[in-house]
Structure 1
Amino acid sequence: MDIYGHDRKLENVEKRIRDADYSEDNKSLIFEFENRLFAEGLETSRVLKYMSQMNMISRWFGKNLADVDEKDVEQLVGSLERSSKKYSTKRDYKITIKKFFKWLYRSEKLEMVDWIPTKKSRENDKLPEDMLTPDDIKKMVDAAGNARDRAIIYTLYESAARISELANMKMRDVKFDEDGALIHLDGKTGPRTVRVAYSVPALGTWIEMHPNKNDKDAYVWINIGSRSKGQPMKYSSFQRLIKRTAKKANIDKNVHHHLFRHSRATELSQIIEQPLLEKFMGWVHGSGMTSVYLHLSDEDLDNAICNMYGRDNRKSKEPALKPQFCPFCDKPISPTSQLCTNCGKPLNAETAIDLDEKRKQVADVMQLLISDPELNQLVQEKISEVKENDI
């Protein structure tokens, strides 16, 4: 399932290129380039980006692309660098320019674009304090408005799934067992299976409420509002949910779906070895993704060195979010649960006292209804009205 709508967006870009006021020769070259990109096995999302940028690049050059020389390239790259565009946007355009002209000229004239710098900047690297903490996740779960949203927040974080992997989950991809649940994910680096534990109560509750829970091919994450009710959630739906919940939870960070993955990778890196981390995250071994995703603090480094020298009492890392088990029925419960979702019993003294107080209040109200004939009659009349309206 294309949760991003890339196919539709690519069709729109292709139409803009066909309707553009630059030369037919340029249009022909751009579409030939598109075919080459697909032939190389690039995903639609990448082709979409190249095509959108080539549309702009063709306009900027203002001449036939086949007639562009190194001076033209220097002038365009210089203008691009002086512009107010973000570093990442400038870099993307420069990468596209290099790729297009290397394809156009094959092994000739490579010096025309080889000089263009495309090194990734580290200025925007995330700091440890930018990461989501387990406490942030708990706050977002508490702020979530319904069972589905709570399950998404927990599962997105604990599984470290890419948003496309999460969106494409079907009922058959979730297997509950005595240790939690195994979730089958299928992403850009291939399929993998990850275990989740503290997400299980929230995930299980949502699946039990799911209107198509017995259909193995049904998507797990569906819309529950009046618009597109029952349809699989799209990328924009996940984004709105995450932004809305983070705002409601007063999380003062730039929270987006990929930050969940970044943060979980950083947490796991302090607990499991790199080969296992790469497998869990769905990274290709040796790809360098570990260094991109991990954001450890100076304290983390200090603790690791002290532990290496035998100071094992120095804050050894454990998962901050750990599954808990009900002391009455021994079923897993979420870290934020006050009541067991399986047996319904309170999990701490405060909740038990609060529950008893609420029961007492209900009993007092019922006693008042029984002892006051007029009030009792009024309630009976209202009940009769409701029944008549339902018929």
Structure 2
Amino acid sequence: MDILDKFLNFLQNNYQSKYTINAYYIDVCQFIDYKKTYVINENDINAYVLFLNKNKKSPSTIKRKLSALSVFYDFLKKSGIYNFDLKGLVRPKSPKPLPKFLDIDETLSFLENVSSLRDKAIISLLYSSALRVSELVNLNIEDINFSNNTILITRKGNKQMSVPVSPKTLNILKKYLGNRQKGSVFLNKFGKRLSQRSIENIVKKHAKKTLLKDISPHTLRHSRATHLLNNGMDLRILQRFLGHSSILATQIYTHLSLQDLIKAYDTFHPLNKKD
């Protein structure tokens, strides 16, 4: 009796629903056919999720397939055949309303109509590098590398990462910083580091004035991700750019069509194309 036959026997002895038994068995068979082996690691799972996504499988289908694999690898572990814990991996969440995002024309209009140099730098950087508010607030001048167009930010879990910034945004930053060479990038009128609430209020104020919309800083992050994906960025690259630990978290942006991979960062940047 091979492993798949043993797994089917396990399902029949432990599950009552014929639908579940059949679905889990087929899901595992399809995965083994895809991978040609049951020996895997977390990267293999991420690659499989990407494969399923490109084949237009729904989040609920992907979630079920991962559940089936979780049961399968738990069975292998308890049977002493192979030890891999899939239970700790992130599952796709149930479908939610898509995040708000601005189209490119709205983004250009938003940026062009902010008169305050500081506020323009804040909004440009939030969009250009798809930053979370906390990443922007904690940014120091020493973290900006003007020579290679990158900034060093601290992601969730205190992980540091260099991310690209558009040349146009860096020019705005240079003008805003003037002769300052160290310390917090964004300051309030008292010379202190801006708070997250202040950043949120700045974005909302200008958005209501220019776009007549109520948006948050995270809307700019969503917009950036949407524009990149719609212009051809590969989902794996977008995952790293956004700092998502799992590609499953990046899937929400796949409501737009994917085109061929374009490697150069500047090629993806919609604002650079308008220069």
- The TM-score with structure 2 as length reference comes to 0.57
How many Å separate the matches in 2 of 1:140 and 1:275? 29
How many Å separate the matches in 2 of 1:204 and 1:134? 24
Q: Deviations over 1:150-183 (max 9, x none)?
A: 1111111010111100100001100112x5x210
The Cα of 1:323 is off from its aligned counterpart by: 6.8
SS of the aligned residue for 2:127 comes to: helix
How many Å separate the matches in 2 of 1:280 and 1:151? 20
Do the aligned partners of residues 272 and 120 (structure 1) sit closer, same or farther apart at CA in structure 2, a change above 3 Å counting? closer
Aligned-pair identity in percent equals: 27
The Cα of 1:146 is off from its aligned counterpart by: 1.1
Q: Does 1:214 align with 2:181?
A: yes
CA contact (8 A) 1:137 1:153 kept: no
Aligned residues: 176
Q: Deviations over 1:293-342 (max 9, x none)?
A: x1534xx36xx4xx79xxxxxxxx95321078xxxxxxxxxx5xxxxxxx
CA contact (8 A) 2:102 2:220 kept: yes
SS of the aligned residue for 2:271 comes to: coil
How many Å separate the matches in 2 of 1:166 and 1:238? 9
- Residue 165 (structure 1) aligns with: 135
How many Å separate the matches in 2 of 1:319 and 1:165? 20
- Residue 251 (structure 2) aligns with: 291
Q: Does 1:265 align with 2:235?
A: no
How many Å separate the matches in 1 of 2:125 and 2:223? 13
- Residue 63 (structure 2) aligns with: none
Q: Does 1:230 align with 2:191?
A: yes
CA RMSD of aligned residues (A): 2.6
List, as ranges, runs of 4+ consecutive aligned residues in structure 1 with deviation greater than 6 Å: none
SS of the aligned residue for 2:270 comes to: coil
Q: Does 1:187 align with 2:155?
A: yes
Do the aligned partners of residues 134 and 204 (structure 1) sit closer, same or farther apart at CA in structure 2, a change above 3 Å counting? farther
CA contact (8 A) 1:156 1:260 kept: yes
The Cα of 1:134 is off from its aligned counterpart by: 2.6
Do the aligned partners of residues 163 and 318 (structure 1) sit closer, same or farther apart at CA in structure 2, a change above 3 Å counting? closer
- The TM-score with structure 1 as length reference comes to 0.41
Residue 176 (structure 1) aligned to one of 146, 167, 171? 146
How many Å separate the matches in 2 of 1:276 and 1:164? 22
CA contact (8 A) 2:142 2:181 kept: no
Residue 131 (structure 1) aligned to one of 86, 96, 101? 101
CA contact (8 A) 2:121 2:176 kept: yes
How many Å separate the matches in 1 of 2:207 and 2:162? 28
- Residue 47 (structure 2) aligns with: none
Do the aligned partners of residues 123 and 161 (structure 1) sit closer, same or farther apart at CA in structure 2, a change above 3 Å counting? closer
SS of the aligned residue for 1:322 comes to: helix
The Cα of 1:187 is off from its aligned counterpart by: 1.6
2:181 aligned partner, one-letter code: N
The Cα of 1:135 is off from its aligned counterpart by: 2.0
How many Å separate the matches in 2 of 1:247 and 1:258? 15
Where does structure 1 lack aligned partners over 5 or more consecutive residues? 1-118, 309-316, 325-334, 336-391
Aligned ranges 1:23-42 → 2 under 5 Å: none
Residue 207 (structure 2) aligned to one of 241, 246, 249? 246
Aligned ranges 1:333-344 → 2 under 5 Å: 335=275
Do the aligned partners of residues 124 and 273 (structure 1) sit closer, same or farther apart at CA in structure 2, a change above 3 Å counting? closer
The Cα of 1:260 is off from its aligned counterpart by: 1.1
The Cα of 1:121 is off from its aligned counterpart by: 5.2
- Residue 77 (structure 1) aligns with: none
How many Å separate the matches in 2 of 1:268 and 1:250? 22
The Cα of 1:120 is off from its aligned counterpart by: 5.5
How many Å separate the matches in 2 of 1:258 and 1:295? 17
Q: Deviations over 1:260-279 (max 9, x none)?
A: 11111122223322222221
2:165 aligned partner, one-letter code: V
CA contact (8 A) 1:182 1:193 kept: yes
How many Å separate the matches in 1 of 2:225 and 2:97? 18
How many Å separate the matches in 2 of 1:244 and 1:185? 25
Q: Choose between structure 1 and 2 for higher RCO, CA contacts under 8 A separated by at least 6 residues.
A: 2
How many Å separate the matches in 2 of 1:272 and 1:235? 29
CA contact (8 A) 1:161 1:261 kept: yes
The Cα of 1:239 is off from its aligned counterpart by: 0.9
Q: Deviations over 1:114-155 (max 9, x none)?
A: xxxxx95535333xxx41123222222233231111111111
CA contact (8 A) 1:143 1:249 kept: yes
The Cα of 1:242 is off from its aligned counterpart by: 0.4
